[in-house]
Amino acid sequence: MINPFKRFYDTEVEVYEKTKGSYSEKGVKTLLSAVTCDLQPMSDETENNLFGLSDGRAYKLYCDKNDSITVGRYIKFGGIFYIVTSVKIWSLGMTAVIRRCLDED
């Protein structure tokens, strides 16, 4: 099946996984893959309330199905890290809600 939304995939993001840290050391983010996607800012107040987001620093990511994008992993674009807070798989691909991280390292 041809994905008609693929023509909007114009942003490349990097997907990271963070290793568990210890009490004295922070975890380390490791690059898993690069994904071409479409990013849309989440500015709709209803949707922000639905996902518990109130600071306006969230995006919805649309892409082809990708096993590396899962809840708890990190997305980096524009030099900023975002954490994946939800993922939905649908017939033509997937969507994920990402929120800016407070720990930017």
Is the residue at 9 inside a domain?
no
The tens place of each residue's pLDDT in the chain, 105 residues long, gives 666 677 788 899 999 998 876 666 678 899 999 999 999 888 656 555 666 655 558 899 999 999 999 999 999 999 999 999 999 998 889 999 999 987 655
Is the residue at 89 inside a domain?
yes
Is the residue at 44 inside a domain?
yes
Is the residue at 8 inside a domain?
no
Answer whether 100's CB lies under 8 Å from 58's CB.
Answer: yes
Q: What is the pLDDT of residue 31?
A: 95
**Domains in the chain, number:** 1
Q: What is the pLDDT of residue 56?
A: 55
Residue 56 structure tokens = 């306006």
Is the residue at 15 inside a domain?
no
Q: What are the start-end ranges of the H helices in the chain?
A: 45-50
β 74-77/58-63 pair status? unpaired
Is the residue at 81 inside a domain?
yes
Task: Return the closest-CA partner of residue 83 out of 57, 62, 65.
Answer: 57
Q: Which domain holds residue 85?
A: 21-100
